Amino acid sequence: MNSSEQSWEGREKAAFFHTFTDLPTIHEDGATVIERGEGIYIFDTAGRRYLEGNAGLWNMTLGFSEKRLTEAARRQYDALPGYHTFFARNTKPAIELAERVRALSPMPMGRVFFTNSGSEANESVVKLLWMIWAAEGHPKRRKLITRKNAYHGATVMTSYLTGKDYVRAFGPLPPDVIIADCPHAWRYAQPGESDEAFSGRLTAALARTIEAEGPETIAGFFAEPIMGAGGVLVPPKGYFPAIQKVLRKYAIPLVGDEVICGFGRSGNIWGAETVGMTPDIMVASKSISAGYFPMGAVMLSKSIDERLSAACEAWAEFPLGFTTAGHPVGCAISLEAIRIILDEGVFSHLRGVSPHFQTRLKALEAHPLVGEARGVGLMGALEMVADKASKASFPGTTRIGERLARTARDRGLIIRPLGAALVIAPPFIITAAQIDELFDTLKGVLDSVHNEIRRDAA
């Protein structure tokens, strides 16, 4: 039988190697092949409709059929279908996008350069930090602080900056990476410990770690305002202001990873504004193009811009870049996406429906399977527990997240399992009625799986 006579699912299984995918799910159930999208819904090759509760991978913020973005792409493809930003060359869309992003920055802003992804952007920041410190006579400042449960990318160095156990599949952590505490109060605060006390304890621990490692060896501190791939972990009140006092004391730059939070997801344009963070460098991706083109951005504060420029003098250039970074089509799409989000009412709409989203999310905390419902803006997570009182997780053999996600898929809802948590982050254009559709379906999913578990235990 030739490939044209096989199903798309069969062809997919034979030809495509999946990444970040639960392998038993592929073996048992195969993949879902998506054919088209309409608003916040996607449709598979059999015509089944799904409400996309994760906006793809957080990034399809304007849904799957925004014609103004495809028209922006068409116009730019007709004018100039591709170019680069090497050797003192540039294009109008890249300049305009840098200006727009620069104007939106919450920090005293220097300049911007572009990459193809958040991973590339964070990887670039590692290099520029090392370059700056070496040029300033501090070549030992190479250590990078990250946090348990953080996610900063899938390139070599950003994988090591990702504070999850699976990165050890690629070998032991290098000595340049330091893992600090995770600011998840529900899981890690001591009994009766207030948010302020928990933040203070983590801050004191960070200061001790810096002293033990040697402040003169540390290049930077990487942090997501809200840990998205960690399971939408919102830091406790006062956490970032306290952390930043320690970082400033030791002259350690703060890198704000806004790949998930940036351009509105947390209810503010930047997650930094939501959590009281004042970064020295910011990284953006995902929503910058509403998922319609691979894009990443590195935003430099004035101080970092000046220091990097001085460091480049010895080499007569910044010896880093990517062939398709600052692609004119991607920049044109991103300009239009930002315009639609901020100037055409989408951001105001997001802020209007977010309270309803959070109310429906929080109501599920009463469910027997849910230990914690947490979130902010238009992002949230449900932490699954086998026992509410002890917060004990289900054993891995239960595969609770995958069971819930599969049941949801069978009922027309796409949600993402992250370990013991379910993550929900729909497109910004979701309506209040669609939020009800999402959570009504999810409530039925939780009930169904809970009943299955009870029957299995009987």
The per-residue pLDDT for range 49-96, each reduced to its tens digit, is 999 999 999 999 999 999 999 999 999 999 999 999 999 999 999 999
Instruction: Judge whether residue 458 has pLDDT over 80.
Output: no
Look at residue 375 in the predicted model and tell me its pLDDT.
98
Distance in angstroms (rounded) separating the CA atoms of residues 447 and 366? 12
DSSP 43-65: EETT--EEEETTTTTTT-TT-S-
Average pLDDT of the segment spanning 245-253: 98
Distance in angstroms (rounded) separating the CA atoms of residues 79 and 74? 9
Residues of each domain in the chain carrying CATH 3.90.1150.10:
32-65+345-457
The per-residue pLDDT for range 207-224, each reduced to its tens digit, is 999 999 999 999 999 999
Q: Tell me which H or E stretch contains 96.
A: helix 92-104
Residues of each domain in the chain carrying CATH 3.40.640.10:
69-343
- Of 260, 279, 329, 292, nearest to 97 by C-alpha is 329
The per-residue pLDDT for range 421-445, each reduced to its tens digit, is 999 999 999 999 999 999 999 999 9
- Residue 233 makes CB contacts below 8 A (sequence gap 6+) with 149, 182, 183, 184, 226, 227, 374, 381
First to last CA, the chain: 46
Instruction: Judge whether residue 201 has pLDDT over 90.
Output: yes
The CATH number, out of the four listed (3.40.50.150, 3.90.1150.10, 3.30.70.940, 3.40.50.300), of the domain defined by the range 32-65+345-457: 3.90.1150.10
Angle between helices 432-457 and 400-410 (to 10 degrees): 130
Look at residue 24 in the predicted model and tell me its pLDDT.
78
Look at residue 94 in the predicted model and tell me its pLDDT.
97
Domain 69-343 annotated CATH 3.40.1670.10: no
Q: Which two tokens stand for residue 332?
A: 């044109």
Q: Which two tokens stand for residue 184?
A: 């998840």
Instruction: Judge whether residue 394 has pLDDT over 70.
Output: yes
Q: Tell me which H or E stretch contains 182.
A: none
pTM: 0.95
Quick count: other Cβ atoms within 10 Å of Cβ 349? 17
